[in-house]
Structure 1
Amino acid sequence: MKEGNVRLIGFMLATSLLVLSACSKNGGEASQSPSASSTPAASQASQPAESETASTDGKYDPPITLTTVRTTEPTVKFPDGDSYDNNAWTRAYEEEYGIKVKTLWAVDGSQWEQKINLTVASGEIPDFFKVNATMFKQLAEAGMIADLTEVYANATDRVKKLLTEENPTAIEAATIDGKLMALPLSNSNREGSSMVYVRTDWLKALNLPEPKTMDDLFKISEAFSTQDPDKNGKADTYGFAVDKDFELLKGYFNSFHAYPTLMIKDKDGNLTSGVIQPEMKNALAKLQEMFKAKQIDPEFGAKDITKVFEMVANGKIGILYFPFYGPLYPLQSGKDKDPKMEWQAFPLLSVDSDPAKPQVPVSVENFWVVKKGVEHPEAVLKMLDFWVKTFYENKSDDIYHKFNAAEDGNQVWNFSNIAGFKAFKNVEESLRIIDALDTKDTSNLGPEDKGVYDKILKFQSGDLTNWGWNLIFSKGGSMSVSNYYRTNDLYQIDEFTTSPLESQIQKGPALTKLQAETFTKIILGSLPVDAFDNFTKQWSDLGGNEILADVNKWYKSKS
């Protein structure tokens, strides 16, 4: 499974985590926010802040119409009579702002790229829509999208915070030649940083302490692989989870202060690739050692992340690097099969005295663009402001069920025509839930919070189907690890913050293939560890040097 697919899993779980299955006693859960005095009327979900300007207040009279395109939501059902052009969100846009939204087409996500490319090639693009970084750059160079500089200057404070909280340079990523040509759509990448999960029932079975250092973790891996932790009399368990694309090893590499896929600063202040640094060689050397010691599945080179998750769920692996949502997927599947299975999340451990920092990729991968010549580009900001008020700042159960998740669990929020995501939504929610669990005072919980709170209470009463929710949101859970990273600012941020350069688009696939082949052979032992040195030379000669030259030209131009 490639990085985009892994990130998609994370996006789906992280943004709809609580909407998917944390149903409250009122039939669902909602988003987070402002005052408990919110009324069931959509127009009163949250009153505009005093700092809001006239450009984002008020209603168009007569109404205006904006066109868009989107992906379908096959797992979500329209209420009777509703459609993409007529649903709770589109009706609210018209009632609140006098904005009618017409969807020109909607296709399955697998067909999106082809369909949007054909649309752009035709020259007839919709009034606003979402694009990836490459398409954004092409549209801007073709002069097809609007300059949003003045529009953004008049955006509400809540919208500006939404767009920049995860990445202060997000606006920079959407700026070309000094003009803001799109609204950046940031992912919650810091909140979703990798951590290490360890099977604590195996620790107890082998009388091992919880890990405090990487040396501890290596000893645990050896024990999990050689001391029959599941007591079945077979040598069929492994320490570390490893997939063929090395997605599950990013946190492991970070423990060595190695950062594959990132651009980082070198000792001279220039940007270089994390994948060619000597720290990567050290991490690979240890992996080769563990593979020879049979601590890694010998068939890892043929298994994508989904196959590895099956091994985890089947009780064959005891150490997993993954983000905070791991307890829901894949760990809950293992708990369902084996009620005695227990896991605990720990912050990344370091190979030395310097703290380990999880790598954080570029948070801006997609952009909202507006067609050049649209009469009211500010209308898109109005709709985005409504999203924040309704999805994040609401505490009313009625509004929640109308716009976020209906009482039957239907994810109505998917019908919104524009959205953005808070940097630490789930961390903040976990802190409120932990406080409520400690004090038994639920007055500060919104509908969504209450849904998770109730699930944890059910787990505490013996319902193991809610084990994963407890492991995420309770004190000491995975969200507590995410909060530890946030509190201590333990992140290695990608220094390259703009859309892909032409050399990256052209040379990147070959370099990625070279990397995967070389790293696999080194771990398997078919190449010596010193083959890494030749890899760095090949990487440079096959386009790496060209990429680094372009990246540093960009880097110096922005300072």
Structure 2
Amino acid sequence: MKKAGLTTVTLMSALSIAIAGCSGGKEQTPQPSAKPEASAKPQDSGTANGMKDGKYDPPITLTTVRAQAPTVKFAEGDSLENNAWTRAYKKEYGIKLKTLWAVDPTQLEQKMNLTIASGEIPDFFQVTPTQFKQLAEAGLIADLTDVYNKNASDSIKKLLTEDGDTALKSATINGKLMAIPYTAAAKERSQMVFVRTDWLKKLNLPEPKTFNDLLAISEAFVTKDPDGNGKNDTFGLAIDKEFGLLTGFFNSFHAYWGIYVKGADGSLAYSTTQPEMKKAFKQLQDMFKAGQIDPEFGAKNLSKVYESIASGKVGMFYNTPYAGLSPLQAAKDKDPTMEWKAFPILSVDDKPAKSQVGVGVSNYWVVKKGVQHPEAVFKLLEFWLKSFYENTSNDIYQQYNTSADGNQVWLLNAMAAYKSYKNIDESLRIIGALETKDLSKLTPEDKGVYDRILKFQAGDLSNWGWNLMFNKGGTMSVADHYRKNNLYLVNEFITSPLPSMLEKKPVLDKLEFEALTKIILGSSPVDEFDKYVEQWKKQGGDEVVKEVNEWYKTAK
């Protein structure tokens, strides 16, 4: 299925790169801050596992392969194998890294497939969920269960389980931990609804408190000329052709797009075929008939929709909290009079609306079977934690995170995992500092965002998006509301795509988008949803659901 399994987590990765600390270009979605001290000493010492005073003695060499981000600039004399990160690994832990090959991130998956097919794999490396499954089935990677239990620090265990045990479960096969999950901020990315509040003020409309309020606002944005140009040329709700901007809308109906949910009988069902989804599409059809949706949405991808938003043609859309930077900062730059505000998704009834989320894992770190020191990878991850999340020193920040000239040094790390609520927590610290003027709890990255907000408050509109995200009442405040009230529904399918999914996906995706797009357009009646469900089942959906439930029984 198009969004089933772990692949859902990667859908927002492009957006997350737009969010940065003081550099303005670094990924902040799963991202973090940096380290308390230059030396990141491991907890153990002595000579166990060939170590002395926390270092391998003599030093060990680990081979790896990786993506090489084209945006990273090397200091004079530095290279992929000789830079601040590799020197720190050797100095702090006695670990020398040897990179067998490095490619552009867009080529990593293909190159890794070739490496796996050759059977000549490095000591540790990053893989996709499908590659992870292939390696495990081929018996090429190490069982990390005992290694993790004995060698992962409390800080690492907290990082990997911050969002519960789902990430580790997804890396577990037949009761054995076969990989380290590359965790991501799935819940922090939950969609919310963005509304043009300058249009609300112009039309003398209150901020939305119910779903019916949103419907009334959408109607007003179409019928009452909110842009004041005397033309009927504005739309209430933005939709893209792949429905990526509709997830939050569906969730208001307790409907969920492209995931697996638990049914009344305890088995898993494909969410898009459930009755609640039919109600959501009925509402979309009504809105389309009323002119509240762009009639050309079926031909517009996200970038085209964002152009419409920036051009002042749309007054409402669903997106992640990072929309404060992209696309809304560009919209603000184009029209400084625009004002937007984010609101939680609103339920159609008296049951709270829950935001659908993925597993919170993008990829996996695996270790080759037979490696002499598999525990060494936890030293690399420990250094990432200390240098990226826990640092309060600006010098360390510039050395391992983002240099003074904005170079994204953090991309040179050999191993990473991301906190689940990094930006929410950062926002809370920044709000506290804005209120108290006490900056002592801020990391260097926090201070960068704090300074941006002060610049905005002084009249610099180029930092408007940072204020929209991180200040009180901003998008991260909405995300914190979800967290505090546990307003999430998590995809129950937490393993790599199954064979039937890979086989049936093209046919089922085509059927789904064609059938449901026609319902919105009104070229098919709403009752055609039932026919779509029947066809989906016959054309392979039943086979997929059966295989999913067979997996689910073993997973439980």
Q: TM-score, normalised by structure 2?
A: 0.94
Partner of 1:124: 120
1:356 aligned residue (353, 371, 376): 353
Partner of 1:477: 474
1:142-541 aligned within 5 A: 142-154=138-150, 155-541=152-538
CA distance in 2 between partners of 1:361 and 1:53 (Å)? 42
CA distance in 2 between partners of 1:320 and 1:168 (Å)? 32
* Residue 398 to residue 276, structure 1, CA distance change in 2 (3 Å): same
* Residue 178 to residue 53, structure 1, CA distance change in 2 (3 Å): farther
Partner of 2:109: 113
CA distance in 2 between partners of 1:341 and 1:52 (Å)? 62
CA distance in 2 between partners of 1:174 and 1:194 (Å)? 26
The one-character-per-residue Cα deviations of 1:326-345 (angstroms, maximum 9, x if unpaired) are: 11000000110111100001
* Residue 33 to residue 444, structure 1, CA distance change in 2 (3 Å): farther
Partner of 2:550: 553
Secondary structure of residue in 2 paired with 1:499: coil
The one-character-per-residue Cα deviations of 1:499-539 (angstroms, maximum 9, x if unpaired) are: 22221222223212211111111111111110000111111
CA distance in 2 between partners of 1:450 and 1:19 (Å)? 7
Q: Kindly state the Cα deviation for residue 50 of structure 1 after the two structures are TM-superposed.
A: 8.5
CA distance in 2 between partners of 1:166 and 1:365 (Å)? 14
2:79 aligned residue (83, 90, 104): 83
1:7 partnered with 2:12: yes
Partner of 1:72: 68
Partner of 2:132: 136
* Residue 294 to residue 219, structure 1, CA distance change in 2 (3 Å): same
* Residue 200 to residue 122, structure 1, CA distance change in 2 (3 Å): same
* Residue 228 to residue 51, structure 1, CA distance change in 2 (3 Å): farther
* Residue 281 to residue 51, structure 1, CA distance change in 2 (3 Å): farther
Secondary structure of residue in 2 paired with 1:486: helix
Q: Kindly state the Cα deviation for residue 166 of structure 1 after the two structures are TM-superposed.
A: 2.4
Q: Kindly state the Cα deviation for residue 355 of structure 1 after the two structures are TM-superposed.
A: 0.9
CA distance in 1 between partners of 2:476 and 2:24 (Å)? 18
Q: Kindly state the Cα deviation for residue 228 of structure 1 after the two structures are TM-superposed.
A: 1.1
Q: Kindly state the Cα deviation for residue 8 of structure 1 after the two structures are TM-superposed.
A: 2.0
Q: Is the 8 A contact 1:127 1:374 kept in 2?
A: yes
The one-character-per-residue Cα deviations of 1:34-67 (angstroms, maximum 9, x if unpaired) are: 7xxx44xx21xx5556999966972112211111
Over aligned residues, Cα RMSD in angstroms?
Answer: 2.1
Q: Is the 8 A contact 1:212 1:349 kept in 2?
A: yes
Q: Kindly state the Cα deviation for residue 558 of structure 1 after the two structures are TM-superposed.
A: 2.7
Task: Give the AA of the match of 1:420.
Answer: A
CA distance in 1 between partners of 2:128 and 2:153 (Å)? 25
Task: Give the AA of the match of 2:117.
Answer: A
The one-character-per-residue Cα deviations of 1:77-119 (angstroms, maximum 9, x if unpaired) are: 1111111111110000000111111111111122222211111
Secondary structure of residue in 2 paired with 1:344: strand
* Residue 409 to residue 158, structure 1, CA distance change in 2 (3 Å): same
Q: Kindly state the Cα deviation for residue 356 of structure 1 after the two structures are TM-superposed.
A: 0.7
Partner of 1:18: 21
Q: Is the 8 A contact 1:433 1:473 kept in 2?
A: yes
Segment of structure 1 superposing worse, 1-10 or 321-330: 1-10
- How many residues end up aligned between the 2 structures? 544
Q: Kindly state the Cα deviation for residue 10 of structure 1 after the two structures are TM-superposed.
A: 3.2
CA distance in 1 between partners of 2:11 and 2:149 (Å)? 35
CA distance in 1 between partners of 2:493 and 2:318 (Å)? 24
Q: Kindly state the Cα deviation for residue 308 of structure 1 after the two structures are TM-superposed.
A: 0.5
CA distance in 1 between partners of 2:285 and 2:466 (Å)? 35
Stretches of structure 2 lacking an aligned partner (at least 5 in a row): none
Q: Is the 8 A contact 2:9 2:359 kept in 1?
A: no
Q: Is the 8 A contact 1:344 1:471 kept in 2?
A: yes
* Residue 5 to residue 150, structure 1, CA distance change in 2 (3 Å): closer
Secondary structure of residue in 2 paired with 1:462: coil
Q: Kindly state the Cα deviation for residue 71 of structure 1 after the two structures are TM-superposed.
A: 1.4
Task: Give the AA of the match of 1:175.
Answer: T
Secondary structure of residue in 1 paired with 2:472: coil
Q: Is the 8 A contact 1:334 1:341 kept in 2?
A: yes
Q: Is the 8 A contact 1:31 1:394 kept in 2?
A: no
The one-character-per-residue Cα deviations of 1:391-440 (angstroms, maximum 9, x if unpaired) are: 00111111000000000110100000100000111111111111111111
CA distance in 2 between partners of 1:51 and 1:437 (Å)? 42
CA distance in 2 between partners of 1:546 and 1:186 (Å)? 30
Segment of structure 1 superposing worse, 157-166 or 288-297: 157-166
Partner of 1:26: none
Q: Is the 8 A contact 1:402 1:412 kept in 2?
A: yes
CA distance in 2 between partners of 1:553 and 1:31 (Å)? 38
Secondary structure of residue in 2 paired with 1:238: coil
Secondary structure of residue in 2 paired with 1:68: strand
CA distance in 2 between partners of 1:85 and 1:339 (Å)? 46
CA distance in 1 between partners of 2:447 and 2:42 (Å)? 26
The one-character-per-residue Cα deviations of 1:199-240 (angstroms, maximum 9, x if unpaired) are: 000001111110011110011011111211111122211111
Q: Kindly state the Cα deviation for residue 6 of structure 1 after the two structures are TM-superposed.
A: 4.0
Q: Is the 8 A contact 1:20 1:409 kept in 2?
A: yes
Task: Give the AA of the match of 2:24.
Answer: S
Q: Is the 8 A contact 2:166 2:359 kept in 1?
A: no
* Residue 129 to residue 265, structure 1, CA distance change in 2 (3 Å): same
CA distance in 1 between partners of 2:420 and 2:474 (Å)? 19
Partner of 1:96: 92
Partner of 2:55: 59
CA distance in 2 between partners of 1:69 and 1:421 (Å)? 20
The one-character-per-residue Cα deviations of 1:124-143 (angstroms, maximum 9, x if unpaired) are: 11111111111100011111
CA distance in 2 between partners of 1:365 and 1:160 (Å)? 18
Q: TM-score, normalised by structure 1?
A: 0.94
Task: Give the AA of the match of 2:66.
Answer: R
Secondary structure of residue in 2 paired with 1:185: strand
